Structure 1
Amino acid sequence: MHHLFGLVLAQKDLSRAGDLFSLDDAEIEGSLSEALEQIRIISSSVDYQTNDNDQAVVEICITRITTAIRETESIEKHGKALVALWESCLEHNLKPSGKDEDTPHAKIASDIMSCILQNYNRPPVMALAVPVAVKFLQRGNKELCRNMSSYLSLAAIAEVDLLADHTDVIFFLFFLWC
C-alpha cells in the first residue's frame, strides 16, 4: 500500500488524511484495493458508529479512492474490493435517525454505490454489483433505494441480462413502495 495511505489508515490520522489529495492518481492506483480492505476493517469495528475521527478519516479516504478510480479508469481492477466494502455496510444500521441524518454506514454505502453503479455500462462490474444492489433495495433506506433504482434502470438498459435473475424482488419492492 502507498506509504501515506498506510499511515493515515493505520493511525486513523485525520490531520494527514487531506494530504492524500496531493498525491497523483497513478501513484496510488496500485494500492486502492488494499486501502479499501483497511477501510472495511475500520468501519466494521465495534466503536465506528460513535467514533467521529474514524468516520472522518474513512470519508476522506473513500473520496480520494473513488476519485482515483474514476480518473485512472480502474473500476474493473478495484471493483471486487469496492463491492466488498459496499456489501459490508449491509451488516450495519442503514436507517436514518429521527433527524433524517444518514448513519455512518449509509454514508459509506452511498459514496461507494455511486462510484460502482456509474459504471452501469461495464458488465464485469455490474455482475459483481447487481446482487448487492438488490440486497440494499431490501434494507429499506429510502434515499439509498431511490438512488439505487435510478442506477439500476440504467444498468437494465445497458445489460438487461444482469437484472433478469432479480426481477421478482425488484418488482415486489417497487409495488411495496408505491
Structure 2
Amino acid sequence: MQQLFSQVLGQRDLSRAGDLFSLHDTEIEDCLSQALDQIKTISCSPDYLTNDNDQAVVEICITRITTAIRETGSIERHSTALVGLWESCLEHNLTPQGENTEDTPHAKIASDITSCILQNYSCPSVMVLAVPVAVRFLQRGNKELSRNMSSYLSLAAIAKADLLAEHTEAITVSVLGARVLRSNWIELTLT
C-alpha cells in the first residue's frame, strides 16, 4: 500500500489524513482496493461506533478514495472492494435512534460511497455487484439512503432493466412499504 495511506489507516493518524489529498490520483490508484479492505476492517471493529478519531479517518479516506476512483476511471478495478465495504454497512445499524437525526457512522459510510458506485449505472460489471446490495439498503429503514438508492436504481432500470428484473418484488415491497420512490418507478420496474 502507498506509504501515507498505510500510515493513516494503520495508525488511524487523523493528523496526516488530510495529506492524502496532496497525492496525485495515479500515485494511489494501485492501492485503493487494499485501502478499502482496511477501512472495512476498521469500520467493523467493536469500538468503531464510539471512536470519533477512527470515524473521522475513515470518512476522509473514503472521500479521497472515491475521488481517485472517479478521476482515474477505475471503478471496475475497485468495484469488488468498494461494494464489499458498502455491503458491510448492512451488518450495522443504519437508522438514527431516538431524537438523534444524525446518520449513524455506518450510514455515513454507505452514503459516502453510494454515488461512487451507482453513478456507474451504465457499467454492467459494476451493477451486477451493486444492484443486489442497493436493494437491501431499500429495506433498512434509513429514509435518506432509501431515497438516494431509489434514484440511482431508477437510472439503472433505464440503462439495464434486466439487472433489476430479479429484484422487482423486493423493490415493489419497499416502494409500497416506505413510499420513498416516485410513482413512475413502479411503472419502470413492472414493465
TM range (shorter): over 0.9
Which residue does the alignment assign to 2:39? Answer: 39
CA distance in 1, matches of 2:132, 2:158: 17
Give the drift of 1:43: 0.3
Aligned pairs for 1:114-133 (under 5 A) are 114-133=115-134
* Count of aligned residue pairs for this structure pair: 178
Which residue does the alignment assign to 2:108? Answer: 107
Which residue does the alignment assign to 1:164? Answer: 165
Identity of aligned residues (%): 74
Which residue does the alignment assign to 1:8? Answer: 8
Unaligned runs of 5+ in 2: 180-191
CA distance in 1, matches of 2:53, 2:37: 18
Q: Which runs of 4+ in 1 moved over 3 A?
A: none
Matched, 1:82 2:73: no
Which residue does the alignment assign to 1:63? Answer: 63
CA distance in 2, matches of 1:169, 1:18: 40
Give the drift of 1:138: 1.2
Unaligned runs of 5+ in 1: none
Give the drift of 1:149: 0.2
CA distance in 1, matches of 2:107, 2:34: 21
Aligned-pair Cα RMSD in Å? 0.6
**1:85-127 C-alpha deviation (Å, 9 max, x unpaired):** 0000011110013221000000000011111001111110000
Amino acid at match of 2:9: L
CA distance in 2, matches of 1:8, 1:104: 19
Matched, 1:140 2:141: yes
CA distance in 2, matches of 1:175, 1:68: 37
CA distance in 1, matches of 2:127, 2:60: 25
